[in-house]
Structure 1
Amino acid sequence: MNISKLFAEMTQYISEAVVRIFGPSDDAYPSTGVQPFSGEPFHEPRRADW
């Protein structure tokens, strides 16, 4: 294999990895925002022997 072709393939392989790591996120999560609280807060029962 030609050295210049080997060097070009190695450079492409490394640059694709760098772009994948440091590039913009491609997550497809929905933006949900703040979720409303629709329950009752927990109150620990008081002990009778206090």
Structure 2
Amino acid sequence: MSVPKVVVDVVDYFSGAFGRIFGLRDDQYPESGVQPFSGDVYDRKHAKKDFER
């Protein structure tokens, strides 16, 4: 490979990455909004008692 070809390949590689990072969004995820929390709240007082070694 010649040096100019390597330089062109490197520039193409980084310009493609730059365009992917800073380009328009192309994701097709649905807008789901805020989801309700239905788990248990962490309680530091009781955590050690349940997980003693």
Who wins on radius of gyration, i.e. which is larger?
1
Fold match by TM threshold 0.5: yes
The aligned length equals 34
Superposition deviation, residue 32 in structure 1 = 5.9
**Partner Cα separation in structure 1 for residue 20 and residue 4 of structure 2:** 24
Shift of 1:27: 1.1
Between Structure 1 and Structure 2, the one with more helix by share is 2
Q: What RMSD, in angstroms, separates the aligned Cα atoms of the two structures?
A: 1.8
Match of 2:18 in 1: 18
Return 5+ residue gaps in structure 1 as ranges.
34-50
Which residue is 1:30 aligned to? 30
> Is 2:2 the counterpart of 1:5?
no
Normalising by structure 1, we get a TM-score of 0.57
Task: Note the residue ranges of structure 2 that are not aligned, 5 or more in a row.
Answer: 34-53
